[in-house]
Amino acid sequence: MEFISVLWNYILPFLVLFTLLVFVHEMGHYSVARRNGVRVEVFSIGFGPELFGRDDRWGTRWKFCAIPLGGYVKMYGDADAASRPGRETAQLTPEQRKVSFYHKSVGQRAAIVFAGPAVNYLFAVLVLALLFMTAGQRHTPAVVGAVVPGGAAERAGLRTGDTVVRFAGRTIDRFEDAERIALLHPGDPLRIVVRRDNAERALLLTPEPRTVRDRHGNAETFGMLGAVRMVAPVVGRVLDGSAAAAAGLRTGDRIVAVDGRPVSTFQEVRTAVMAGPETPMRLRILRDGRRTALTIVPQRFSYADGTGATRTVGRIGIGVAPPPMKRHGPVAALWAAVEETWSLTVTTGTAIGQMFAGKREFRDIGGPLRIAEMSGDMARIGPYAFVWFMAAISLSLCLINLLPVPMLDGGHLLYYGIEAIRGKPLGEKAQEYGFRIGMALVLTLMVVVTWNDLLRLFGAHGS
Three-state secondary structure readout of the chain: CHHHHHHHHHHHHHHHHHHHHHHHHHHHHHHHHHHCCCCEEEEEEEEEEEEEEEECCCCCEEEEEEEEEEEEEEECCECCCCCCECHHHHHCCHHHHHCCHHHCCHHHHHHHHHHHHHHHHHHHHHHHHHHHHHCCEECCECEEEEECCCCHHHHHCCCCCCEEEEECCEECCEHHHHHHHHHCCCCCCEEEEEEECCEEEEEEECCEEEEEECCCCCEEEEEECCEEECCCCEEEEECCCCHHHHHCCCCCCEEEEECCEECCCHHHHHHHHHCCCCCCEEEEEEECCEEEEEEECCEEEEEECCCCCEEEEEECCEEECCCCEECCCHHHHHHHHHHHHHHHHHHHHHHHHHHHCCCCCHHHCCCHHHHHHHHHHHHHHCHHHHHHHHHHHHHHHHHHHCCCCCCCHHHHHHHHHHHHHHCCCCCHHHHHHHHHHHHHHHHHHHHHHHHHHHHHHCCCCCC
Can you give the CATH number for the domain in which 171 is found? 2.30.42.10
150 and 217 fall within a common domain: yes
Determine, yes or no, domain membership for 438: no
Determine, yes or no, domain membership for 309: yes
255 and 308 fall within a common domain: yes
The model's pLDDT over 154-208, given as tens digits with 9 standing for 90+, comes to 999 999 889 999 999 989 988 988 998 998 888 999 999 999 999 999 999 999 9
The model's pLDDT over 269-323, given as tens digits with 9 standing for 90+, comes to 988 998 889 999 999 999 998 999 999 999 998 876 555 667 788 999 998 877 7
197 and 151 fall within a common domain: yes
153 and 222 fall within a common domain: yes
pLDDT at 174: 87
Determine, yes or no, domain membership for 358: no
The model's pLDDT over 210-253, given as tens digits with 9 standing for 90+, comes to 876 655 555 667 888 989 888 888 998 899 899 999 999 999 99
pLDDT at 176: 86
Query: 40 with 74: CB under 8 angstroms?
Result: yes
Determine, yes or no, domain membership for 251: yes
Determine, yes or no, domain membership for 7: no
Structure pTM? 0.73
Percent of the residues in the chain that have a pLDDT greater than 90, as a whole number: 44
268 and 296 fall within a common domain: yes
239 and 315 fall within a common domain: yes
Last residue of a domain, one of 290, 320, 350: 320
pLDDT at 83: 56
Q: Give dist(CA 386, CA 135) in Å, integer.
A: 13
How many domains is the chain built from?
2
284 and 303 fall within a common domain: yes
Which has the higher per-residue pLDDT, 442 or 133? 133
Q: What angle do CA 289, 233, 255 make, to 5 degrees?
A: 50
Indicate whether 359 pLDDT > 70.
no
Average pLDDT over the chain reads 84
pLDDT at 145: 84
In our burial notation (b when 16+ CB lie closer than 10 A, e otherwise), range 102-137 reads bbbebebbbbbbbbbbbbbbbbbbbbbbbbbbeebb
Paired residues of 74 in beta bridges: 42
Domain of 164 in residue numbering reads as 144-229
Question: pLDDT-based confidence at 437, cuts 50/70/90?
Answer: confident
Q: Give dist(CA 462, CA 220) in Å, integer.
A: 9
The model's pLDDT over 362-371, given as tens digits with 9 standing for 90+, comes to 566 666 666 7
177 and 249 fall within a common domain: no
Determine, yes or no, domain membership for 355: no
Determine, yes or no, domain membership for 398: no
206 and 261 fall within a common domain: no
**319: alpha, beta or left? (left if phi > 0; alpha if psi -120 to 50):** beta
Determine, yes or no, domain membership for 173: yes
The residues annotated with a catalytic role in the active site are 26
213 and 289 fall within a common domain: no
Last residue of a domain, one of 320, 343, 369: 320
What is the rounded average pLDDT of the residues 68-76? 87
Last residue of a domain, one of 197, 229, 261: 229
304 and 283 fall within a common domain: yes
